[in-house]
C-alpha cells in the first residue's frame, strides 16, 4: 500500500449503494479501503472488485484457522481482487506461514492482529501481543494491527517489530483514539470507520483526519 494520506477507511456499512457512494466520496483521502464481514455478508465478495477500482482493498476476515483452511480463505480473497488480508496470530506460526505463503504467491500483503482496540482487547491479547508481533516479523508479514486507543501499546509494538513492518491502527474517533497521537506513537496508518461513514460529509470528515495527522 502506498503511503499518501496515512488513512484507511473501514467500510462497515452493509449495502452496496452506500458503500460505493461513501468510497467514491472519500477515495482521494484514503490509501486503502478495509472491507470486512458486515459488507461482504451483506453484499457478497463481489463488492471487493468494485471497490478495488477506487482504492486498494484490505480484506478484514481476521483469519483464524488451521493452515489448510487459512490457505483456502486467502486464495479466495486474493482471487476476488483484495490487495491484502488481515489474519489473527494466536492460531500459531504454521497458520500464519500459510497466509504469508499465499500472499507471496499472489504478491499481496498480510497484516496480523496483535492487541485489539476495544476494552476487552486487553483480557486475552495483552499478555501475548508482543509475542504475536515478534512472530509476525519472523514470519515475514507486511505489518501488524495495533490499537489507536492505546498509543503506548503501539509504541511498545513498534519497538518489537522495528521499522520493516507497518502498523495499521484502528480505534480513532468513535472508540476514543486520536489519529495524531497514534501516528506520533509509531503507527503508519489509522483505520477509521464510523467517524467517516456516519458523517453528513464523509469527505470532509476524512479530510479533517488527514489534516490532523499531517502525514
Ligand atoms: O472507526 P470504527 O470504530 O467505526 O471502526 C474500526 C474498524 O477497525 C472496524 O472495522 C473494526 O472491526 C476494526 N478493528 C477495531 O476496531 N479494533 C481492532 O482491534 C481491530 C480492528 C481491525 O480492523 O482488525 C483488523
Return the number of other C-beta atoms located less than 10 Å from residue 35's C-beta: 28
Is residue 180 marked as binding? Answer: yes
How does residue 215 score in pLDDT terms, banded at 50, 70 and 90?
confident
CA of 68 to the centre of ligand 1 (A): 26
DSSP string, 120-131: GGGTTTGGGHHH
Q: What would the pLDDT profile of 139-184 be if each residue is shown by its tens digit? A: 999 999 999 999 999 999 999 999 999 999 999 999 999 999 999 9
C-alpha cell at 43: 453484499
C-alpha cell at 32: 486503502
Return the number of other C-beta atoms located less than 10 Å from residue 105's C-beta: 12
Return the number of other C-beta atoms located less than 10 Å from residue 208's C-beta: 16
Q: Quick check: 36 and 58 in contact, CB under 8 A?
A: no
Is residue 134 marked as binding? Answer: no
Return the number of other C-beta atoms located less than 10 Å from residue 26's C-beta: 27
Q: What would the pLDDT profile of 61-103 be if each residue is shown by its tens digit? A: 999 999 999 999 999 999 999 999 999 999 999 999 999 999 9
Within 8 A by CB and 6+ apart from 32, the residues are 1, 8, 9, 55, 56, 57, 58, 83, 84, 189
Return the number of other C-beta atoms located less than 10 Å from residue 163's C-beta: 8
What is the pTM assigned to this prediction?
0.98
Average pLDDT over residues 39-56: 98
Give me the active site residues, please.
62
CA of 173 to the centre of ligand 1 (A): 11
Give the integer Cα–Cα distance in Å for 25 and 20.
8
Residue with the nearest Cα to atom 5 of ligand 1?
193
Of 7, 8, 9, 10, the one to substitute when testing ligand 1's pocket (max ligand atoms within 8 A of C-beta) is: 10
Determine the pLDDT at residue 214: 84
Residues whose beta carbon lies within 6 Å of some atom of ligand 1: 10, 12, 36, 60, 62, 86, 113, 116-117, 121, 145, 147, 170-171, 173-175, 191-195
Is residue 68 marked as binding? Answer: yes
State the burial class of residue 130 (Cβ atoms within 10 Å of its Cβ: 0-12, 13-18, 19+): middle
CA of 159 to the centre of ligand 1 (A): 22
Amino acid at each position: 500500500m502506498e503511503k499518501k494520506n496515512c488513512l484507511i477507511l473501514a467500510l462497515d456499512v452493509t449495502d452496496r449503494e452506500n458503500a460505493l457512494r461513501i468510497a467514491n466520496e472519500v477515495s482521494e483521502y484514503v490509501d486503502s479501503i478495509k472491507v470486512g464481514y458486515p459488507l461482504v455478508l451483506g453484499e457478497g465478495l463481489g463488492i471487493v472488485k468494485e471497490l478495488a477500482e477506487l482504492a486498494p482493498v484490505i480484506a478484514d476476515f481476521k483469519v483464524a484457522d488451521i493452515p489448510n483452511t487459512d490457505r483456502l480463505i486467502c486464495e479466495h480473497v486474493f482471487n476476488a481482487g483484495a490487495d491484502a488480508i488481515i489474519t489473527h496470530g494466536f492460531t500459531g506460526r504454521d497458520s500464519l506461514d500459510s497466509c504469508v505463503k499465499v500472499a507471496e504467491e499472489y504478491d499481496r500483503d498480510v497484516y496480523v492482529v496483535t492487541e485489539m482496540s476495544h476494552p476487552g482487547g486487553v483480557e486475552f491479547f495483552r499478555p501475548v501481543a508482543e509475542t504475536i508481533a515478534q512472530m509476525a516479523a519472523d514470519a515475514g508479514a507486511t505489518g501488524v494491527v495495533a490499537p489507536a486507543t492505546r498509543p503506548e501499546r503501539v509504541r511498545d509494538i513498534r519497538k518489537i517489530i522495528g521499522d520493516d513492518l507497518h502498523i495499521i491502527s484502528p480505534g480513532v474517533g468513535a472508540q476514543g483514539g486520536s489519529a495524531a497521537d497514534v501516528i506520533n506513537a509509531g503507527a503508519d496508518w489509522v483505520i477509521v470507520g464510523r467517524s467517516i461513514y456516519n458523517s453528513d460529509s464523509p469527505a470532509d470528515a476524512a479530510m479533517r483526519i488527514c489534516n490532523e495527522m499531517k502525514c
